[in-house]
Structure 1
Amino acid sequence: MVRGLLCVVLLLATVTVHAETWPDKDWANGTPLVGVAVDALDAYAFPPRDDTTRQGIRTDALLVIRDGVVIYERYAAPTTASTPHLTWSISKSLMATVLGVAYGDKRFKLTDPVARFYPPMKQHPTVTMADLLHWASGLDWQEDYEYAPLKSSVVAMLYTRGRANMAEFAADTEASVAPGQAFRYSSGDSNILSAALKGMLGHKAYVSYPWDALFKPLGIRNATWETDADETFVASSYAYLTARDLARVGLLMARDGRWGDQQLLPQDWIAFNRQPFEQYKAGQDEAVPGGHWWLNRPIQGAPRPWSDAPADTFAALGHWGQALYVMPDEQLVIVRYADDRDGSYRHNELLKRVLAAVQP
């Protein structure tokens, strides 16, 4: 009996408890990355920059968090650690995260018709919240920027006839297929989601909700989110955060919606975010769509989009090279801000070099 108790004590004494590290007012600094692999990462992410042509890879910020501490951080002027950077379409995943808090508060169900919260969608009565989150509203949306601006729905929404009320402009788009049947990337879908959130909450609560529900609990102190003239957050495009603050959202997602002792996002919401949209056809986009996040999942026999990154990698991605990558099993969160203009940047190449740099 004594021998058995002694064995238990010895066993317990050999168990190493991994204590999670969380940022307080700021991130703790871990052991900085050094070595040849780090030099290779620097060479790829921060090549000499020509501001006259705006060609090539133009990284503004690169931040790597592992196990809740900063292990790599570099900026290119004029961006600094205190610069709230335009996130472009990372804003879409931020809105999905804000909606996750509302979902946990029972404000809506994924199967709810959007028209329940946003009356202009009564002309599309069967479109659900899940359809919008999958970019599968069925609306005939054109998401072209530089290549076809005259026919672009998103250019019209952001800059010309739709800019005063972006969600209403998107809702007025005709349907091309039944909702939920096909993936079609759409900034309009994201802005309708933002208007639906306002309908759930009422205007007074809505105007501070991203801060009350998400930013303040995470300790994010320097965030800006522009609205249109109807005072609806432009969920498609116009959130600004520092790299360090955006990394807090990544850590929340890496740890399945937990922040410290609080389950800020329901686990079934995280599971929805990270589940591939069933109707997505392999190769339609640079990564596989989940619930307003992008996934590195192999589907329909196709290889995973970022072959050198783990299959559990997922990301929020934005125009001109903005990216928030999350690798849960590796406990890695990577933020990249950029001003890429020519398509030379490759997600997989950066992730491969980061993984090589963090190897012991």
Structure 2
Amino acid sequence: MVKGLLCVALLLFTATVFAEAWPTKDWSQGPQLSGPAVKALEDYAFAPRNEVTREGIRTDALLVIGDGQIIYERYAAPVTASTPHLTWSISKSLMATVLGVAYGEERFKLSDPVARFYPPMKQHPDITLADLLHWASGLDWQEDYEYAPLKSSVVAMLYTRGRADMAEFAANTESFSAPGQVFRYSSGDSNLVSAALKGMLGPKGYVDYPWAALFTPLGIRSATWESDANETFVASSYAYLSARDLARVGLLMARDGRWGERQLLPKAWVDFNRQPFEHYQAGQDEAVPGGHWWLNRGARGAARAWPDAPADTFAALGHWGQALYVLPDEGLVIVRYADDRDGSYRHNELLKRVLAAVARQVQP
């Protein structure tokens, strides 16, 4: 009898020790990173800010989740742990994650023509949802901001003649190649994804869908997502979340779409997000595009974008230094919010320093 009780106690102890940590109302705190490697990380990420020239690396938030717990967290005023921060193009990966829930509900197939759900795309009948998610629609989109604003498709869409109905503006873009053949990064493609989702759900089902499908199940409370005048979410740019809430999306992706006991995203969807676009050519962008996420895996001769990070690292990235990094094999999720303006920040350098700090922490 005593032996049997000891076995039960051992099993319960083992289950407790190896139980996965998940955030409930808030994140639990794990062993905090410390030591010289953390100072080296902070010297890079939180260098003194020049508020006059706005030059240099200007981190607003840095949050590191290790095995489902907070192991490092720092903010630069006025940003705090509860501040919903503009994510810029991280919004694209968020929309892909919301779309993954609809995929699990069998509302569409990746091979479906976009025009099936969004009639203005009938002028481009061969473009599929997979093409949009690979930023390979073949639409002649110019994704320039500061360097060529007068020729910029994205500036026109967000701020001038396209701002009332951004998806329709993108749909009216002429083609430069057949769909699915050429990668060209496009905020227009992302807003077409948003319009397609609206067509699948209808306006009433769509307006609350990101919350019902994703944010509420993950316990996200800070999310705001702006829409255009046509009440379509601006999937390219305008989602706001706190760093802690964005990290929940990263943990979901790190664990193959599972949240606790629930498979919120089909694993096949996460696999698609993490599969390199087959027609990507080395040098077209810093990282390799997957399904609306950025990958550290080489493709067609491309070297790893972030050589000091594991090959399975993937990320959601946004303008002015926004980043959500997911390192599944390391059990790490990293959120960085920023106000970078001069291009001096390097993803690889931050990842290298975080990994060095974590390695020091786990040394016996």
The normalised TM-score by structure 2 is 0.95
- What is the distance in 2 between the residues matched to 1:97 and 1:84? 19
Q: Does 1:158 align with 2:163?
A: no
1:98-131 deviation digits (Å, cap 9, x = unpaired): 0000000000000000000000000000000000
Residues 294-352 of structure 1 deviation map (CA, whole Å, 9 limit, x = unaligned): 00002223321100000000000000000000000000000000000000000000000
Structure 2 counterpart of 1:74, one-letter code: R
The residue that corresponds to 2:65 in the other structure is 65
Q: Give the SS at the match of 2:343.
A: coil
Residue type of the alignment partner of 1:286:
E
In structure 2, distance between residues paired with 1:302 and 1:198 = 36
> Which 10-residue stretch deviates more, 297-306 or 108-117?
297-306
Post-superposition Cα deviations, 1:240-279, rounded to whole Å, max 9, x if no partner, equal 0000000000000000000000000001000000000000
Aligned to 1:238: 238
**CA distance in structure 1 between the aligned counterparts of 2:126 and 2:272, rounded to whole angstroms:** 20
- Percentage of pairs with the same residue: 81
Answering whether residue 74 of structure 2 is matched by residue 74 of structure 1, we say yes
Look up the match of 1:3: none
Give the residue type in structure 2 aligned to 1:32.
Answer: Q
Distance in 2, Cα, partners of 1:179 & 1:356: 42
Are 1:267 and 2:267 an aligned pair? yes
Deviation, structure 1 residue 222: 1.1
Distance 1:178 1:206 in 2: 30
Could you tell me which amino acid in structure 2 is paired with residue 157 of structure 1?
M
For 2:177, the aligned partner's letter is V
Name the residue aligned to 2:186.
186
Secondary structure class of the residue paired with 2:330: coil
| Partners of 2:14 and 2:193 in 1: CA distance | 44
Is 2:51 the counterpart of 1:20?
no
Q: Secondary structure at the match of 1:249?
A: helix
Structure 1 residue runs without a partner (length 5+): 1-5
Q: In the aligned structure 2, how far is the partner of 1:279 from the partner of 1:303?
A: 15
> Counterpart of 2:287?
287
- Distance in 2 (CA, whole Å) between partners of 1:16 and 1:315 is 33
Aligned residue in 2 for 1:227: 227
Q: CA deviation at 1:48?
A: 0.5
For 1:108, the aligned partner's letter is: F
Q: Which amino acid aligns with 2:263?
A: Q
In the TM superposition, what are the counterparts of 1:199-238 in structure 2 within 5 Å?
199-238=199-238
SS of 2:333's equivalent in the other structure is: strand
Q: TM-score, normalised by structure 1?
A: 0.96
CA distance in 2, matches of 1:212, 1:164: 26
Partner of 2:316, secondary structure, is strand
Deviation, structure 1 residue 16: 5.0
Q: Which 5+ residue runs of structure 2 have no aligned equivalent?
A: none
Distance in 2 separating the partners of 1:52 and 1:243? 26
Contact 2:278 2:299 in 1 (8 A): no
Match of 2:117 in 1: 117
| Aligned-residue offset at 1:31 | 1.3
Distance (whole Å) between structure 2 residues aligned to residue 337 and residue 358 of structure 1: 20
Q: Describe the superposition over 1:153-195 as per-residue Cα deviations: whole angstroms up to 9, x where unpaired.
A: 0000000000000000000000000000000000000000000
Query: What SS does the corresponding residue of 1:168 show, helix, strand or coil?
Result: helix
Q: Are 2:89 and 1:94 aligned?
A: no
SS in 2 for 1:286: coil
RMSD over aligned CA atoms reads 1.6
> Hey, what's the Cα distance between the residues in 1 that align with 2:310 and 2:164?
42
C-alpha distance in 2, partners of 1:73/1:333?
A: 12
Local SS of the residue matching 2:323: strand
The match for 2:325 is: 325
